[in-house]
Structure 1
Amino acid sequence: MAFKAVLAGCGSMSRGWLSAIAEHPLLKGRVEVVGLVDLHLPTAEARAAEFGLTQASIGSDLDALLAA
């Protein structure tokens, strides 16, 4: 069973978090990133594209994304 996660904030630190989720033996396959949120929408879109998160919801409002 995978945990579902929404990453809030897609700046430079998010690259490390997403890399860890994808590569760390204790996290790989156990965490599914289902959303990315950033106040600057193009930043969230770019980070999703960088990590191939094509199915993830992307937005600039965390409350709205969690309510969807």
Structure 2
Amino acid sequence: MSTQRCLVPPVADLFFQAWCAGTLGPDDRSHVRDVLLTDSMSEEERLAIDRLIHCVRRGWLVMHPPSRA
């Protein structure tokens, strides 16, 4: 029996961290994009992404642009 550890945090955790910080950074957006592009997305992940989008549209979360080096 092997146990695998998920290296990418679940979308629900991402939502919680973004809500507490009040911002979505470039890495957060990349994570959401990667989840959306996977073939199998759970209902919980879809709902969390919908909540993130709603919060950004309402102005409750701020999206920061990628930093330019």
TM-score (norm: length of structure 2): 0.36
Higher helix share: 2
Higher Rg: 2
Higher strand share: 1
TM-score (norm: length of structure 1): 0.36
